[in-house]
Amino acid sequence: MRVGVVPKFNSPQAIELTKRILNYGELSGLKMYVDRRAARMIDWDRKFTLGKDDVDLIVAVGGDGTVLSTLHLLGDKAIPVATIRYGRRGFLCDVAPFEYTDMIDRIVTGRYKIVKYMRLKATWRGTTLPYALNEYAIVTSSEARTKVSRIHVWKDSEEIYYLVGDGVIIAPPIGSTAYSLAAGGPVVEPTMRAIIVTPLAPITFCCRPVVLPPTSTVRVVASRDSPSLEVISDGNYSVTIRPGEEITITEAPTPALFARFYMGDYYVRLFERCM
């Protein structure tokens, strides 16, 4: 079995843990590969290019940012991602750093579960943005921060509302507990298929979060009297929409695949700070 490891590059601790994972995995009979971008930091013979070279499983060592950027580079490649927490935020990650040997043992014996999470696809000017697992945040651009966005939000051929405020968040279920939740959106079971629309600080009273069927086509149109808008995919990639332009968001053709080892603690982790 070929296992590729992607570390958080600016974390010395994650780099050292990656070295231990590579060595232990190799001793356990796996063919271990390291992300080619880490070649200067990690001396390892087998390397792979994320999104181009095929492996059977990827281990991301870092926080949510490392996981999300890994998925962006994978694109449509259906490769499961195992996740080890080593960052400031690791809600998407289910393996603690000290559990890496148990994780490798369970990979060798097949004692893990593949879980699918819906992603979103955004199209703008005929170009597809990186798929979003957390959200597409559509906000007033940095060049016009003192102005409010003026946005028309459509579901298929029906306008949901005209929104005046800071912007709107379009999220799949796993992203309902990220930026969308902070903006007042609902918690949605992560393995469901749905599209969540959450307004950001709306001035217009009628604008409230809505949950749409996964087959919906959501169109976000910048009004002609709106400032330019910035579309941010999972905090990693952005484009600017000018007044009068629109972006179309649908379910992505391929879900994100996660190799899960400790599955029973989703709501415990979500609500533990409330207890």
159-211 confidence digits (pLDDT tens): 999 999 999 999 999 999 999 999 999 999 999 999 999 999 999 888 999 99
Active site residue: 43, 53, 56, 64, which one? Answer: 64
Is 229 within 8 Å of 144 (Cβ atoms)?
no
Separation CA 72–CA 266 (nearest Å) = 23
Q: How large is the average pLDDT for residues 53-73?
A: 95
Percent of the chain with pLDDT over 90: 86
Separation CA 41–CA 39 (nearest Å) = 5
The per-residue pLDDT of the chain, averaged, comes to 92
Identify the CATH class of 2-118+255-274.
alpha beta
Q: Where are the domains of the chain?
A: 2-118+255-274, 120-251
Is 200 within 8 Å of 139 (Cβ atoms)?
yes
- Tell me the residue type at 76: D
Q: Which residues pair with 198 in a beta bridge?
A: 169
pLDDT score at 272: 59
Nearest residue to 161 (alpha-carbon basis) of 151, 176, 147, 148 = 151
With tokens 């940095």, the residue in question is: 142
Write down the CATH number for the domain with range 120-251.
2.60.200.30
**Token code pair at residue 74:** 């994978």
Q: How large is the average pLDDT for residues 72-89?
A: 89
Is 65 within 8 Å of 87 (Cβ atoms)?
yes
pLDDT in tens, 107-155: 999 999 999 999 999 999 999 999 999 999 999 987 766 789 999 999 9
pLDDT score at 266: 65
What value does the CA radius of gyration of the chain take, rounded to a whole number of Å?
Answer: 20
Of 239 and 88, more confident: 239
- Tell me whether residue 64 is one of the annotated catalytic residues: yes
Q: What is the pTM of this model?
A: 0.91
pLDDT-derived band at 5 (thresholds 50, 70, 90) equals very high
- Tell me the residue type at 66: T
Burial-class residue 145 by CB neighbours within 10 Å (0-12, 13-18, 19+): exposed
pLDDT score at 236: 87
Contacts of 234 (CB under 8 A, 6+ apart): 68, 71, 72, 130, 132, 133, 134, 135
CA distances from 175 to 181, 188, 246 (A): 8, 9, 22
Nearest residue to 132 (alpha-carbon basis) of 143, 144, 118 = 118
Same fold, 2-118+255-274 and 120-251: no
Percent of the chain with pLDDT over 70: 93
pLDDT score at 4: 98
